[in-house]
Amino acid sequence: GIQVEQSPPDLILQEGANSTLRCNFSDSVNNLQWFHQNPWGQLINLFYIPSGTKQNGRLSATTVATERYSLLYISSSQTTDSGVYFCAAGGGADGLTFGKGTHLIIQP
Amino acid sequence: DTGVSQDPRHKITKRGQNVTFRCDPISEHNRLYWYRQTLGQGPEFLTYFQNEAQLEKSRLLSDRFSAERPKGSFSTLEIQRTEQGDSAMYLCASITWSPPTRGGYTFGSGTRLTVV
């Protein structure tokens, strides 16, 4: 099956900083999603991005499918951005394989 | 649209008991997924439905696990003869997937199971 690796595993930043989270996947995929899991455990979908670039406010994501990686950019971090960011990949509408996540802490 | 609802939020059960969880997806979504998440890990795919059809169940963790979606609306996940290793968060998600329409998951808040 598909392997998904995320880096870095942990990241501590000051409020206002920018960050880049990376997701590598082992095989071609046509479904790639980014999620934020808040400290209460709720998973929120950030992007459905099997290829290309999308932006939503301070967040943007780029997937280069031919090179099997995706990047999530967070600009001007806020304390509410803290939590775990997961990348998940798969084939179409089948079940997704999640990475182990990047644990982000934004300090005031 | 009230989102994906899961019930109960928490369940504590004794080892060997059977438990059942319920998921109510977003009404217009046609696919429903079950995942399990253990501490410090990403969610792990278990099974999914398109309407009432269960399209993948080989990833269910053992034959003690089963899922149903009898009328293509809500779904249930049952674990028989629970073991301590079953303690985890059980998550449900739904999407609309009718190409060319595709979308990202909407997850419920999950059911946290503790087996004592």
The predicted-structure confidence for B21-38, as pLDDT tens digits, reads as follows: 999 999 888 899 999 999
Residue B105 to residue B94: CA distance in whole angstroms: 6
**Can you give the pLDDT at residue B54?**
87
Bridge partners (DSSP) listed for residue B19: B79
Degrees to nearest 5, angle at CA B36 with B23 and A95: 85
Distance CA B1, CA B85 (A): 35
Q: What is the pLDDT of residues B57-98, one digit of tens each?
A: 888 889 999 999 988 889 999 999 999 999 999 999 999 877
Which residue on chain A is closest to B60 by alpha carbon? A95
Lowest mean pLDDT among A28-32, A47-51, A53-57, A92-96: A92-96
Q: In the Cβ-directed half-sphere of B17, how many Cα atoms lie within 13 Å?
A: 12
- Cα of A78 to nearest chain B Cα, Å: 23
The DSSP letter of residue B101 is B
Only one residue has tokens 């060997």, namely B16
What letter represents residue B3's amino acid?
G
Which residues from A are below 8 Å from B47, CB to CB? 95
pLDDT of A99 > 90? The answer is yes
Residue A81 DSSP label? G
Q: Tokens 């939590």 correspond to what residue?
A: A83
B57, amino acid identity? K
- Please tell me the predicted confidence (pLDDT) of residue B100: 65
The mean predicted confidence, pLDDT, of chain A is 95
Residues B36 and B65 sit within 8 Å (Cβ to Cβ)? no
Q: Which residues of A touch B102 (CB under 8 A)?
A: 31, 48, 93
Instruction: Name which of A8, A19, A20 is nearest A70 in CA terms.
Output: A20
Beta-carbon contacts of A25 under 8 Å, excluding residues fewer than 6 positions away, are A2, A3, A4, A5, A32, A68, A69, A70, A87, A89, A97
Residues A43, B107: C-beta atoms closer than 8 Å: yes
Cβ-contact B116, B15 below 8 angstroms: yes
Q: Which amino acid is at A12?
A: I
DSSP secondary structure string for all residues of A60-79? EEEEEGGGTEEEEEE-S--G
The answer to whether A23 and A99 have CB atoms below 8 angstroms apart is: yes
How many residue pairs from chains A and B have C-beta atoms closer than 8 A? Answer: 58
Rounded Cα–Cα distance for residues B101 and B94 (Å): 14
